[in-house]
Chains A and B, each alone.
Chain A
Amino acid sequence: MNRLVVLAWHYIPGIHPRMDYLIAHSEGQASRDVERHLSSCQRCSNIARLICTAVESAHQTHLYGKDRTIKLLRETYEVLQLRMKTHQDQRSKLRTALELYFGKKIAQHIGYDKNGCLLLSHTQSFFVAFLGKKAAAVLAQEVISAVT
């Protein structure tokens, strides 16, 4: 742990330990610095307490299969799945729009990086270099409107 960061937790109000430290603390992996911060910070001690309770409750849910929690989890996951599907559809539509405007090869180069991730935010700046700011903005808008 960086000493400077630890000092900041203690002496600068509004600076708090990262969530993983609080999780580690609530799971019993106590660190002296985190303990010291928690003793003086209401916000973080509340979060740590909530995490601790949540871990225990989740353990009980897994053990005894609490119906209410399982129902809530299932409902949430159904909506989440739907939203993920919509997001995927939009991505593929965007790819189609880029291909439509620039052809498959160029769209591959400007649309995705080596990991296959969309680069639309970068793509607009890429257009700027060749077309100018205004034309690039219009083009990007056209591409997006073709998707939505």
Chain B
Amino acid sequence: MTKFFSHVGTENLCYSPIQITDGEMMSVPPDEICQKAQTMVTSLYEERGAELLHFALGFVHDEDLAKEGLQEAFMRYFVALCEGQEIASPRAWVYRVLHNYLLDRIKAAHVNLCAESAKRYSRQDQQIEQACFQREVIQLLRTMLTVGEYKCLSLRAEGLQYREIATKLNLTTGTVGALISRALGKLRRSLAPIGGEAR
């Protein structure tokens, strides 16, 4: 006898009724279904596994991804069988699942690659911007300072001490100090109107 358990008072929920047949219930224990599914998966794997692996390898040229795709396709086949799905053409079904899975993975990898390259380009953009800014500052300093002041200031910026700068430029330490202090004074005065500060 077949009973239909329709959902009383849940018409608006759009659930399909569950068909339960007395007597036929649990005629096949669930574990047996899994065992049967496993046997079917194994036999298809033995028969078509190599072919599907070659298909995946031809598609992605990556052994790991091909292996993963093959495994996933057969696992989905197993789950579908366990859930009681009837698959008319298992070979075509697994081919389709494998193809779609690999396609999804390629698309996901492409999206990641795009995001990475966008990041890289933005980093490169920043570097270029910084270099341009540096060039502009140097040009400005050259126009503002005398040759001696500029040389002393740039060597000081490189981290050299007054004595080392003096040896390098054949000057006395006092002259170096005076040149640097004059250069900084000029910078301070030029930055003052815009609220900046030179140290």
A residues touching B (Cβ–Cβ < 8 Å)? Answer: 18-20, 23, 47, 50-51, 53-55, 57-58, 61-62, 69, 72-73, 75-77, 79-80, 83-84, 87-88, 91-92, 95, 108-109, 112-119, 122, 125-126, 128-129, 133
User: How far apart are the CA atoms of A57 and B197 in the complex, in Å?
Assistant: 74
CB distance from A84 to the nearest CB of B (A): 5
Q: Kindly list the 3 A-B residue pairs having the minimum CB-CB distance in the complex, ordered from nearest.
A: A117-B84, A58-B51, A20-B92
Task: Report Cα–Cα, A134/B196, bound state, in Å.
Answer: 64
6 A-B pairs in the complex with CB atoms less than 8 angstroms apart: A53-B58, A58-B48, A72-B63, A95-B30, A112-B25, A116-B26
Is B41 an interface residue when CB atoms closer than 8 A count as contact?
yes
A54→B52 contact, CB < 8 A: yes
Which secondary structure characterizes the binding site on chain B?
Answer: helix
CB B181 to nearest CB in A, in angstroms, measures 73
Contacts of A112 in B (CB 8 A): 25-26, 30
What residues of chain B lie closer than 8 Å to A109, measured between beta carbons?
20, 25
Task: Decide yes or no whether B99 CB sits under 8 A from chain A.
Answer: yes
* Contact yes or no, A87 B74, CB < 8 A: no
CA distance A129 to B6 in the complex (A): 8
User: In whole angstroms, what is the CA distance A126 to B16 when docked?
Assistant: 10
Q: Which of B7, B27, B32, B45 contacts A114 (CB 8 A)?
A: B27
Q: How large is the interface on B (under 10, 10 to 19, 20 to 34, 35 or more residues)?
A: 35 or more
A125 touching B15, Cβ below 8 Å: yes
B residues engaging A (CB < 8 A)? 5, 7-10, 13, 15-16, 18-21, 24-34, 38, 41, 45, 48-55, 58-59, 63, 66-67, 70-71, 74-75, 78-79, 82-84, 89, 91-93, 95-96, 99
Q: Are A122 and B92 in contact (CB under 8 A)?
A: no
For the complex, give the distance between the alpha carbons of A103 and B67 in Å: 42
Q: A19-B95, A23-B95 are in contact. Are A87 and B78 (CB under 8 A)?
A: yes
Closest chain-A Cβ to B68's Cβ sits at a distance in Å of 8
Contact B71 A79 (CB under 8 A): yes
A57 adjacent to B54 (CB under 8 Å): yes
- A18 and B50: CB pair below 8 A? no
